[in-house]
């Protein structure tokens, strides 16, 4: 039986991933603010450290897969704390337990939004591991209103995809035989998007930003199944990729520009 850690397991994509893994007979240690095996706040250092410690206890120090789904889209600094630092700290904290597995794998949830305009100040500080600096840059933007504050979200995801690309080929990850990849969804119908998609203005805004010619808005399962494959024993050679599973949004927006 493989043991997986799924963050954000209480809702949306994380909950669908937990269900898909259970259906395969895997053991899942869910991490979330509430309704989880490990209840912790991944926006803080203390919360991340406590989550790692509790997971190590529950797993006996051996973890076969880590899937980081927990994330938020608030136009505020906490979005950078959860989406970038919460994810990278969990992955780094659980790397020793992954190394103890015979077939370790890791995957994170980035976003189509990683291709949108970003704040270079947030992205650069995040990748430098400077959390106070990244949060200060996000706070300075948020003070100028929600439109600039929103940059925290695409910036956190751009930094995350780039971090995955860099780390995946390092001695720590590739050198330990751990495939590390990201998935970038389009618009997924989950509690995160419910409010926006439920009103005509929000819906029009989302659909203009994320055009999905293939099958339109996607269910959480479309991402969960991909995360399950990326962290399965079958994935032996994929590293550093951000897989756009987005109804064709990336192909529509970027076209030949890759
Ligand atoms: P969701 O809101 O349904 O689930 C997110 C989960 O993360 C919740 O259970 C929440 O409690 C947990 N979480 C939030 N902050 C946390 C914290 N500080 N500590 C611990 N857990 C925390 O959202 P959804 O849609 O399932 O999103 C999952 C991931 O997918 C996120 O990273 C999101 O950015 C990403 N994503 C979602 C898209 C969408 O259209 N729904 C599109 C692209 C990416």
The ipTM (two decimal places) reads 0.99
Beta bridge partners of 4: 28, 65
Q: Is residue 73 part of a domain?
A: yes
82 alpha carbon – ligand 1 mean position (Å): 9
Q: Of the candidates 39, 69, 44, which has an alpha carbon nearest to the alpha carbon of residue 54?
A: 39
Identify which of 5, 7, 8 to mutate to test ligand 1's pocket (most ligand atoms within 8 A of the CB): 8
Query: CB neighbours of 4 closer than 8 A, spacing ≥ 6?
Result: 21, 26, 27, 28, 29, 63, 64, 65, 66, 67, 231
Evaluate whether 129 touches 91 at the Cβ level (below 8 Å).
no
Which ligand 1 atom is the nearest neighbour of the CA of 112? 43
Distance 219 CA to ligand 1 centre (A): 14
Residue 114 maps to a domain: yes
pTM above 0.95, yes or no: yes
**Residue 111, domain member (yes or no):** yes
Structural domain of 53: 3-246
Tell me if 147 is assigned to some domain.
yes
Ligand 1 centroid from CA 7, angstroms = 9
Q: Is residue 16 part of a domain?
A: yes
**pLDDT digits (tens), the chain, 258 positions:** 999 999 999 999 999 999 999 999 999 999 999 999 999 999 999 999 999 999 999 999 999 999 999 999 999 999 999 999 999 999 999 999 999 999 999 999 999 999 999 999 999 999 999 999 999 999 999 999 999 999 999 999 999 999 999 999 999 999 999 999 999 999 999 999 999 999 999 999 999 999 999 999 999 999 999 999 999 999 999 999 999 999 999 999 999 988
Number of domains in the chain: 1
Exposure on the CB side of residue 5, measured as CA atoms within 13 A: 35
- Which is catalytic among the residues 4, 150, 153, 244? 153
| Closest C-alpha to ligand 1, atom 21 | 32
CA of 10 to the centre of ligand 1 (A): 9
- Atom 2, ligand 1: which residue's CA is nearest? 192
> Is residue 162 in a domain?
yes
So what's the pLDDT on residue 258?
A: 80
Q: State the pLDDT at residue 228.
A: 98
Is there a catalytic annotation at residue 216? no
DSSP assignment letter at 183: E
Distance (Å, whole) CA 213 – CA 222:
15
> Is 113 within a domain?
yes
Ligand 1 binding pocket, CB closer than 6 Å: 8, 10-14, 32-33, 41-43, 69-73, 82-83, 109, 111, 185, 187-188, 190-193
In a domain, 258, yes or no: no
CATH of the domain at 225: 3.40.50.720
């Amino acid at each position: 039986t493989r043991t997986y850690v799924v963050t954000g397991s209480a809702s949306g994509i994380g909950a669908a991933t937990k269900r898909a893994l259970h259906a395969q007979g895997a053991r899942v240690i869910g991490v979330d603010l509430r309704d989880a095996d490990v209840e912790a706040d991944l926006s803080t250092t203390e919360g991340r450290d406590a989550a790692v410690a509790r997971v190590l206890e529950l797993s006996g120090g051996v973890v076969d897969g880590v899937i980081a789904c927990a994330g938020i889209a608030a136009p505020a600094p906490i979005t950078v704390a959860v989406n970038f630092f919460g994810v990278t700290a969990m992955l780094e904290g659980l790397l020793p337990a992954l190394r103890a597995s015979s077939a370790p794998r890791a995957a994170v949830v980035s976003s189509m939004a990683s291709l949108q305009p970003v704040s270079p100040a947030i992205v650069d500080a995040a990748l430098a591991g400077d959390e106070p600096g990244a949060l200060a840059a996000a706070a300075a933007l948020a003070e100028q209103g929600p439109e600039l504050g929103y940059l925290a979200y695409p910036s956190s995801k751009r930094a995350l995809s780039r971090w995955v690309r860099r780390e995946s080929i390092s001695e720590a990850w590739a050198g330990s035989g751990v495939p590390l990849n990201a998935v970038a969804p389009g618009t997924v119908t989950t509690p995160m998007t419910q409010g926006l998609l439920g009103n005509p203005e929000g819906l029009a805004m989302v659909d203009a930003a994320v055009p999905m010619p293939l099958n339109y808005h996607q269910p959480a399962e479309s991402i969960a199944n991909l995360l399950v494959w990326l962290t399965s024993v079958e994935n032996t050679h994929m590293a550093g990729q951000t897989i756009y599973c987005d109804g064709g949004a990336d192909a529509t927006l970027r076209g030949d520009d890759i």
